[in-house]
Every structure is written in structure tokens, then in C-alpha cells.
Copies of this chain bind each other. A is one copy, B any other.
Amino acid sequence: MPRIAYLGPEGTFTEAALLQMVAGGMLPPGAAAGPDRDVTPLPYDSAGGALEAIRARDSDYACVPIENSIDGPVIPTLDGLAGGSALQIFAEHTLDVAFSIVTRPGTRAADIETVAAFPVAAAQVRSWLAAELPDARLVPAYSNAAAAQDVAAGAADAGVSTALAAQRYGLAELAAGVVDEANARTRFVLVGAPGVPPARTGADRTSVVLRLDNEPGALVAAMTELSIRGIDLTRIESRPTRTELGTYKFFLDCVGHIADEAVGEALKALHRRCAEVRYLGSWPTGAAAGAPPPEFDEAARWLQARRTGGSA
């Protein structure tokens, strides 16, 4: 029964994502032991801690958020993937951001004087609260799940939390699907020790971290290795390296799988060109996330014919 660390405590969006990934059969082959797909979830108090648990062999996998459409990249996840020994991403899952306003059973809206909320969540439901609970006072909590715990403990009348947390802590949902901004979404990834990537599906994502020599043009030259092969770059983030001032690591996501010839050739080229390439994995995205890499088969046959004196 595989152990899966996650950004806890119980009831976070991350745990919800993890449970959906398990239920959807998205674990790597060999990870989901039986027909009941049982796993042992292990809550950690940070994304970095969940990733370290794999390195310490305290966990087999980790489920962590990597990108949020409102708040951008999740820095502790990026740093945890880029530093330390190699890890690999095997799956991803995206959740709409949708908070539940949780109360102890029997609480009515009119009774609510205090609302516990993680500050980031509070910012995302500000308009809703102003409209629906205009007289309530916000009190900070340390996470979305902690907001529910505070409500359960009587420290607040209501909490900005998740449906899963309501269930976990025996709370009622005064409202569900609450969020000010439409289309807010968070993407989560399932990380493990390096291994065989999941099979190519035709709708895949490949991710790498590059460390480049500190000279003008080095990044463009690296990215050209993707563009010249028709590979669609879907995300790029620069992060300062911690060892040297003014130097950066670059996180690149592209459409395609390491088993695609175009992607494999580009990865080889990056390996030759860059000071360091860390391969973060290739995994299915379910739906296409951009233009798929071109087929290289016909050109390979043409080359083979030229090399062997055949005709094609």
C-alpha cells in the first residue's frame, strides 16, 4: 500500500486532489496495489516537507500544488524539485478553486460574528464575504484546513475551507463553490523517486529545470532547441539560484513526451548545451495542453535509406 505525502493537514485542497488522483487510477503502475486502490496519505505541513519525505524514504510519493492561476507558481514546490536529489513527476490533476464556508451544524448566517481564513484564501473570497456576511470579522488561520479546525474547536463561528475539511471535521457547509474570481484553478502533481515515465498518451507534458551559463543569449539558445524542433513551450519560470547572486534556474514545460522523437532529440540537445539539465518527468495531461510535437518518423526513414544506400 503506497504511502503518499501531501501538503496537509487533513482537508486541504491538496488532499482532495490526491484522493481524486487515486480514485481516477492516476498513480503510476505498481503504485496502486490492489483493486481498492488503497494508499496511505501522510500529511506534511509544507510542500517542501512532503517532497523531502520521498528522499528520506518516509513516503513513496508526494502530492503537492505546483501552479495556481491566481497566485502563480508554488515556489516551495519548484525549489523542492530543483534542489536536493532528483525527483520525478508522474501525474498531474487540476482542481477548480472553490471554497466551502463551513460552520458547526446548526449555525445560521445571522449568528456568524467571526470567520477564520488562511490569508491567501481570504483574499480570494473577499467580495463574497462582503456581500453575504458583511458584519463578520476575519480572523487568520494557518491553512484552509486549520480554518475548519478552528471552527470545530469553537474559536471561530465560520471558516473559509474545503468540502473535504467539512467532512473530516464534522462541519456543515453554509455555502459551497465560493470564489470571487471565475476560472481560478490549481494544478497539483504527483512526485516520486526517478523511474520509468508513464507511457506516452499523445497528450503529455514534459518538464525540465535548466541551469545555464551566465551569459547573454544562453536562455534563448536553449529555448531555440525546443522551437526549432516544433516543440510547444507552455510555461517558463526563472528562479534565482541560491548559490550565486544574479544567476537563475529556469523551469520549462513543453507539450510532448520523452518518448516522442522530437522531445527526445530536444532533451539531448539541452543536455549538451546547458550547464545542467534536470529532467522532471513526462506524464499525461488528459487533454492536449498545446500543439503536439511533430512526427519525426518519415525523416528518420529517409535518413536510414540514405545511410544504407536504399531508396525512400
Whether A72 sits at the interface, judged by CB under 8 Å, is yes
CA distance A61 to B69 in the complex (A): 28
CA distance A250 to B223 in the complex (A): 14
Whether A111 sits at the interface, judged by CB under 8 Å, is no
List chain B residues, Cβ under 8 A from A167: none
Which one, B46, B230, B306, contacts A279 given CB within 8 A?
B306
Question: With A216-B227, A220-B227 as given contacts, are A194 and B309 in contact (CB-CB < 8 Å)?
Answer: yes
The minimal Cβ–Cβ distance linking A178 to chain B, given in whole angstroms, is: 19
Whether A26 sits at the interface, judged by CB under 8 Å, is no
The minimal Cβ–Cβ distance linking A221 to chain B, given in whole angstroms, is: 8
List chain B residues, Cβ under 8 A from A271: 298-299, 302-303
Complex interface bits, A66-103 against B, C-beta within 8 A gives 1, otherwise 0: 00011111010010000000000000000000000000
CA distance A296 to B272 in the complex (A): 8
Whether A290 sits at the interface, judged by CB under 8 Å, is yes
Whether A232 sits at the interface, judged by CB under 8 Å, is yes
Report whether over half of chain A's contact residues are helix, strand or loop; otherwise say mixed.
mixed
Question: With A140-B141, A196-B308 as given contacts, are A223 and B219 in contact (CB-CB < 8 Å)?
Answer: yes
List chain B residues, Cβ under 8 A from A75: 70-72
List chain B residues, Cβ under 8 A from A242: 183
Interface residue tally of chain A, by bracket? 35 or more
> In the complex, are the beta carbons of A291 and B216 less than 8 A apart?
yes
List chain B residues, Cβ under 8 A from A228: 217, 221, 224-225, 228, 269
> In the complex, are the beta carbons of B140 and A303 less than 8 A apart?
no
CA distance A231 to B119 in the complex (A): 40
Complex interface bits, A237-250 against B, C-beta within 8 A gives 1, otherwise 0: 11110100110101
Residue of B nearest to A118 (CB): B119
CA distance A69 to B311 in the complex (A): 32
In residues 265-312 of chain A, which contact B (Cβ within 8 Å)? 265, 267-269, 271-272, 279, 289-291, 294, 296, 298-300, 302-303, 306-309, 311
Whether A259 sits at the interface, judged by CB under 8 Å, is yes
CA distance A309 to B196 in the complex (A): 4
Whether A123 sits at the interface, judged by CB under 8 Å, is yes
- Known A-B contacts: A69-B240, A194-B311, A220-B233. Give 5 more (CB < 8 A): A72-B239, A217-B228, A220-B220, A221-B228, A271-B303
In order of increasing CB-CB distance, the 8 nearest A-B pairs are A140-B140, A196-B309, A217-B227, A268-B299, A195-B309, A220-B227, A72-B75, A216-B232
Residues of A that sit less than 8 Å from B by CB = 46, 69-73, 75, 78, 118-119, 122-123, 138-142, 183, 194-197, 215-217, 219-221, 223-240, 242, 245-246, 248, 250, 258-259, 264-265, 267-269, 271-272, 279, 289-291, 294, 296, 298-300, 302-303, 306-309, 311
